[in-house]
Chain A
C-alpha cells in the first residue's frame, strides 16, 4: 500500500495500481470537501436562503410552478424555471409588452378580499407601496384562511435584510413551523402585527425593479382560481381525499372539519415549501 509497508515493491504494477487508487480516493474526498466548503461559503455570503428556495422550488411539482403568463392566458403552457422571480426571466418582458392591461376594480375575488392596489407574491404575501416610498408586507386573505385562527408569527428584527424568496417570516401553528417567503428585497424598518393588518415595513433596494415579479391587477383572479385548484390537490395528497369544486367559498376555519389531514403538508405546499 505504501513504500514502507511490508510487501510493497517498486514495480510498475504496484506504482500504477496504487497511483490510480490514490487518485480516485483523493478526487472523491476533495469533491466532498469542496461541497462542504461551498456550503460554508454560502453561509458567509448569505446565499443560503436563495439556495434553499431553489431546492424547494425544484421539488415542487410542475403543476405548482405554472408561469404567470399561462395563468393569464398569454401562453398555452409554460412552467416557470426562474423560481417565480420574473426579473431574471428573458421571456417575461416580451409577454408583458403584448398584454392588454385592464385594471382590476373589485376587492372580492372568489370570496377572498384581495385589494387591487396591492401586489401579490406567489407565496401568499402582499406588498403595498406607501407614500414615503417604503413597502408594507402582509399575508394575503387566501393565506390567512389557510392558516386558520390560532397561529403566531415570528418576524425578523428591524435592520434585517430580506431577499426575494428568502425567509420573510415564520408562522407557528400547533407543532408546525411554516416559513413565509419574502416578496421583495429590502431592509426591515418596522414590525407590524395582525391587528395593524400588516407584518413588516421594508425599505426596498431598487424601487424600479422591486415589484416586477409580483402579480397585479387582472392577474389576480386567474391566480386565485388556480390556487383554489392547487388547494384541492394539496388536500387530496395530504389525507383529506377527493374534494369537489362546488363554486362556494372557503369556510373561515375549515381545519376542524378535517382533523386527520396532514395540515403541515397542506399549509406547507400552499406556501411553496417542499
Chain B
C-alpha cells in the first residue's frame, strides 16, 4: 500500500502489520494528550507535586532522557570532528533518538512550568545568573540544531529525493554537518553541565549540594561525562532493540564494539571522578554543612546500598566489562553492560532529584514521600509513545541505518518462506493468525 514510500532495496513489514504496531502507541499518545490538556488547561493540581516536592517524575524524566539523548551530540562529535567513520552506521539513529529525547524533554518542561503562553518570557527577560536560563537557551538551540540534522534524513525518502532541489539541499546540508556537530557539542556541554551545575546553588539541600571548582560545581563536569558515557550505550541498546523487532541485522558487529569501547572509556573516567567527588562530599562538604554524610542514608528506603549500586554495580562493573576487548566480543555481555550503564544514569538522576527532595534537611522536616499522579505518568508515557511513533515512521520511510542494504544483501536473509504471505514479515510481537488475517484483509482490499 505504501510501497512507493519505502526506500529502494529495503524490506519493511506490510502496511497492515505496521498499523497494528503503531496502534497501541497512538492510543498511549492520545491518553497523554488528554493528560497534558488537563495540566495546562486546568492547572498543575492534577500532579502530586507541591511547593516542597517540586522535583517529580517529570524532572527525573527530563534529566534522564537528556542524558540518554547525549548519544546524538557525542556521536556527532566523534564522527564529524574526530572523524571516527565507524559511527556513520548509527549517526542517523543517534540524531532521531536525540531529537525524540530533547523535544520530549522540552515538551514535558513546558507542561511542568504550566504556563505555556508565557514560555517566551524566559527568552525575552532572561535571568542570566540562573543555570536554568542557560539550560533553556542551550536546549532550545540544540533542539533547533537536531531538527536541522533531522532534515537530511527526511529528504532521503524515496519520493522526496525525486525532487532535485530537495536532494541537492540535503547534500549541501550534509556537507555542512561538521558545523552543526560542533555547535551541538558546544551547546550540549553547557546544558548537560548546567543541569549538574544546578546543585552548586542548592545550599539548602546538603545531600546534593556540591562545592565549586572555579565557577562550576563538580556535578557540572560529572553530568557532562556521565551523559557522554550513557549516550553511546543507549544507541547500542536501541539499535539492538530495533534489530530484534525487525529481525534484521542493521549494523556490523564492529559498530557495537566501538560504541561499547567509547562508553566504557567515558564511564571509567566518570567512576573515578564520581568516587573522588563522593569521598570529598562525605569528608568535607556534607560535614561542613552540619550533616554527617551517612545520616542521609539512615532511611531504609535510601540506604548506602543505593550509593554502592550507583558507583560499583552500575559504574565500575560495566566500565571494566566494556573496556575488556574479549568481553566486548560477546554480544550478550556487551549489551548487558550497556544496560547497566543506562540504568546507572537513570539511578543517578533519580538520586539527584527525587531522593534529594525526599530527604529531610531541617530539624522539623519529615521524610517526604511522593508518588506521581496518573496525569504525570500519562505525560511521561506520551513522550515514550511519541518517540516510538517518530522512530517507527522514520525507520519505515527513510534510511536510518546506512549499512542495512549491504547487510541484508550479504546475509541473503530473505527466504521464500518469509515471503509466502506476499512479501511481508511477521513481526515478533504479532501472533501468526493476526498476520494471516491482516494479509487476507489487505489482499481483499487491493
Contacts and interface: CB of A to CB of B under 8 A. Distances in A.
A43 B163 CA distance: 13
Sorting the interface of chain B by its residue count into under 10, 10 to 19, 20 to 34 or 35 or more gives 35 or more
Given A241-B414, A242-B415, A61 B167 contact: no
Most chain A C-beta atoms within 10 Å of own C-beta, residue among B9, B167, B408, B422: B9
Interface stretch (A46-54, A141-149, A152-160): A46-54
A238 interface: yes
Contacts of A31: 176, 179-180
Given A177-B162, A237-B10, A241-B418, A21 B176 contact: no
Interface residues of A, number: 53
Contact of A261 (B134, B169, B423): B423
A61 B405 contact: yes
Interface in B187-210: 187
A39 B176 CA distance: 12
A35 B177 CA distance: 10
B153 to A, nearest CB: 12
Nearest to B406: A61
B36 to A, nearest CB: 28
A152 B70 CA distance: 51
Contacts of B123: 1
A34 B180 CA distance: 13
A62 B88 CA distance: 14
Interface in A49-74: 49, 51-52, 54-55, 59-63
A6 interface: yes
A18 interface: yes
B8 interface: yes
Given A17-B126, A35-B176, A52 B164 contact: yes
A95 interface: no
B125 interface: yes
A92 B140 CA distance: 50
A198 B209 CA distance: 80
B381 interface: no
B11 A239 contact: yes
Given A28-B141, A31-B179, A242 B3 contact: no
A28 B144 contact: yes
Interface of A: 1, 5-7, 13-14, 17-18, 21, 24-25, 27-28, 31-32, 34-36, 38-39, 42-43, 48-49, 51-52, 54-55, 59-63, 175, 177, 233-234, 236-242, 260-262, 264-265, 268-269, 273-274
Interface of B: 3-4, 6-11, 123-126, 128-129, 133-134, 137, 141, 144-145, 148, 156, 161-162, 164-165, 167-173, 175-176, 179-180, 183, 186-187, 399, 402, 405-406, 408-410, 412, 414-416, 418-419, 422-423
Q: List 8 tightest A-B contacts by C-beta distance, closest first.
A: A239-B423, A241-B419, A61-B406, A61-B405, A35-B172, A17-B128, A38-B172, A265-B8
Given A59-B405, A242-B415, 6 more contacts: A14-B128, A36-B169, A51-B168, A237-B414, A265-B3, A274-B161
